[in-house]
Structure 1
Amino acid sequence: MENDLTVWRAKADITQAELADQVGVSRQTINAIERGRYDPSLELAFELAHYFDCRIEDIFDYESADD
């Protein structure tokens, strides 16, 4: 799954650690999401969207295997 989490975090001018604290995960989790090595749970995706006051689709771009 592609994502623009790094862009949203940069616009908010916060570190990975600060974002992690706000949504209740580790900095390593945020790093893994940004690098595309980990797809967040639906709950975490909602938490991130809520934090940035946007839709999940604004941060995450799901591409199915059939695309």
Structure 2
Amino acid sequence: MGIILKNRLKELRARDGVNQTQMAKLAGVSRQTISLIERGEYTPSVLIALKISQVFQEPLENVFSIVEVEE
């Protein structure tokens, strides 16, 4: 068993009408970083994850969740 970090970034951006470039600026990261996080190809640091959850005004666990997967 392994774990992966799932996120609702794309869904929450759509809800708030924020594009990747705007989200990146609000979170203090690059647009590429936002894209990689959304695709599950990059695990953000705790600091970045907290910044992102603050942008959406959501608790961290409403934006990111850990899921167990079979390997």
Q: Could you state the TM-score of these two structures normalised by the residue count of structure 2? A: 0.86
Gaps of 5+ in 1: none
Q: Which has the higher contact order (CA 8 A, sep 6+)?
A: 2
Return the letter of the residue paired with 1:25. Answer: V
Runs of 4+ in structure 1 off by over 3 angstroms are none
Counterpart in the other structure of 1:46: 50
Quick check: which one's helix share is greater? 1
**Equivalent residues, number:** 66
Structure with the larger strand share: 2
- Match of 1:18? 22
Q: SS of 1:63's equivalent?
A: strand
- Computing the radius of gyration from Cα coordinates, the structure with the larger value is 2
Give the structure-1-normalised TM-score: 0.91
Over the residues paired in the alignment, what is the CA RMSD in angstroms? 1.3
